[in-house]
Amino acid sequence: MSNENFKNQLTDWRHYLHSHPETAFEEENTSRFVAEKLLEMGYEVVTGIGKTGVVGTLKNGDGSGIIGIRADMDALNIQEETNLPYASKYAGKMHACGHDGHVTTALGAAKLLADRKDFNGTVRFIFQPAEEHGEGALAMLKDGLFERFPIDEFYGLHNMPGLPEGQIHSKVGGICASEDNFEIRIKGKGGHASAPNMGVDSLVTASQIILALQTIVARNIDPIDTAVVSCTEIHTDGTVNVIPTNVVITGDCRSYNPEVQSLIKERMQAICENICEANGATCEFTYRNSFSPTINWEECHHTVVQAATNVLGEANVVDHAQPMMGSEDFGHFIDKIPGCYVFLGGKREGEEVYPLHHAKFDYKDENLVRGAEFFAEIVRIKLPI
């Protein structure tokens, strides 16, 4: 197949996926599409891993090494506003994060490897559901992903519309942050707004807690480390002339270091409980680890830099990427086995940049072949003939 025909095929695949978006754990059609393409290429295919996940395996030669490539499949609950001819056919759902491009890129790499057979060992393509809510990787792991389908090293990418088109960015260590969600339930004693002395004002207590939580990053976290504590919602059962009895604060925290995660949780709980006690209120504190930080392994980072340089040229490779505070559940995988996650830039000169999760976002089709060749090159480097 010529390069132009290959590009056209990948573009057709992505446009189909873009127009048929499916959200977390609903990726039935996407899974069928992926499985059919892999079977046509000669892969062994297993479906239903982590509910709607797909694993495709291809062995060539007698090599014992096993390399994994991962793509996330889910869309978002966003009404598309692109007006593209291949825009979403489903109201309120769209591929606003580029996972249609990620799936197509991985399928492209799978095809290159199946056609060329220029590797010695085993490659596995993992198509994961439900990345957006941080549940898909855990669901696949719970289904025994690595026990049933062993992998020596695991690689993935995410498009980044704010980075120059066609560039690969990687780094050693934390590249995507953890995400931990919290809920603080404060119970006081409500009453009439004219007589605050008759009750325990849970809203004032909540206000003190919100301000005090900001001291964690400012005064407890090492300034060299990076962390964010954000209160994002507050709900009460009060009204214009009623002091509330109950207040609920929710939000999330970000960091790159598991020790920082633990410190944030410990300090948050102490602040909440002690401020409530000081004000005569009670507190119920819940803290949930949703996403692990994505921590790139050094050896795997060197592999992606070499692969990207071979495919894209040295000028299009950044080996000291600026990490992002957004989260990515690929981190759950490379907590357990070596791996590396990279960014693929999509910013084109002269064009308006729509960020990830924007209703007008669209993946750059020109990156499909670049990404496919990059993934295939990783496999060739790690599983040489």
Q: How far apart are CA 370 and CA 346, in angstroms?
A: 11
Q: Copy the structure tokens of residue 213.
A: 């939580």
Q: What is the pLDDT of residue 258?
A: 86
Taken in order 133, 289, 222, 211, is the CA torsion positive or negative? Answer: positive
Q: Which residues are annotated as a binding site?
A: 97, 99, 132, 158, 357
How far is C-alpha 155 from the geometric centre of its chain's CA atoms?
Answer: 13
Report in angstroms the alpha-carbon separations of 158 from 73, 145, 166, 304. 12, 21, 12, 13
CA angle 36, 66, 103 (to 5 degrees): 35
Place of tokens 């490379």: 334
State phi, psi for 240 to the nearest 5 degrees. Answer: -55, -35
Q: Which residues are annotated as a binding site for Mn(2+)?
A: 97, 99, 132, 158, 357
Q: What is the pLDDT of residue 290?
A: 84
Report in angstroms the alpha-carbon separations of 11 from 21, 72, 76, 367. 16, 18, 21, 10
Q: Copy the structure tokens of residue 371.
A: 């990404």
C-alpha dihedral (94, 97, 99, 105), degrees to nearest 10: 130
Q: Copy the structure tokens of residue 368.
A: 């499909």
DSSP secondary structure string, 47-105? EEETTTEEEEEEEETT---EEEEEEE---BS-------TT--SSTT-B--SSHHHHHHH
Q: Copy the structure tokens of residue 292.
A: 């692990």
C-alpha dihedral (268, 272, 277, 281), degrees to nearest 10: -160
Contacting residues for 378 by C-beta, under 8 A, at least 6 apart: 67, 69, 155, 303, 304, 307
Q: What is the pLDDT of residue 25?
A: 98
Where do the DSSP E strands lie in the chain?
Answer: 44-49, 53-60, 66-72, 121-128, 153-164, 168-169, 173-177, 179-187, 191-192, 227-236, 242-243, 246-255, 282-291, 294-296, 317-318, 324-327, 339-347
Q: How far apart are CA 351 and CA 60, in angstroms?
A: 43
Q: What is the pLDDT of residue 302?
A: 98
One pLDDT digit (tens) per residue for the chain, 385 residues: 688 999 999 999 999 999 999 999 999 999 999 999 999 999 999 999 999 999 999 999 999 999 999 999 999 999 999 999 999 999 999 999 999 999 999 999 999 999 999 999 999 999 999 999 889 999 999 999 999 999 999 999 999 999 999 999 999 999 999 999 999 999 999 999 999 999 999 999 999 999 999 999 999 999 999 999 999 999 999 999 999 999 999 999 999 988 999 999 999 999 999 999 999 999 999 999 888 899 999 999 999 999 999 999 999 999 999 999 999 999 999 999 999 999 999 999 999 999 999 999 999 999 999 999 999 999 999 999 9
Could you give the angle at which helices 366-382 and 298-312 cross, rounded to 10 degrees?
130
**How does strand 179-187 pair with strand 227-236?**
unpaired
Q: How far apart are CA 123 and CA 149, in angstroms?
A: 10
Structural domains of the chain sorted by starting position, each given as residue range(s) with its CATH number in brackets: 3-177+292-382 (3.40.630.10), 179-291 (3.30.70.360)
The pTM of the full predicted model, rounded to 2 decimals, is 0.92
CA terminus-to-terminus distance, the chain: 23
Q: What is the total residue count of the chain?
A: 385
SS3 content of the chain, % helix, strand, coil (to 5): 35, 30, 35
Question: H or E stretch including 6?
Answer: helix 3-19
Place of tokens 């392994």: 297
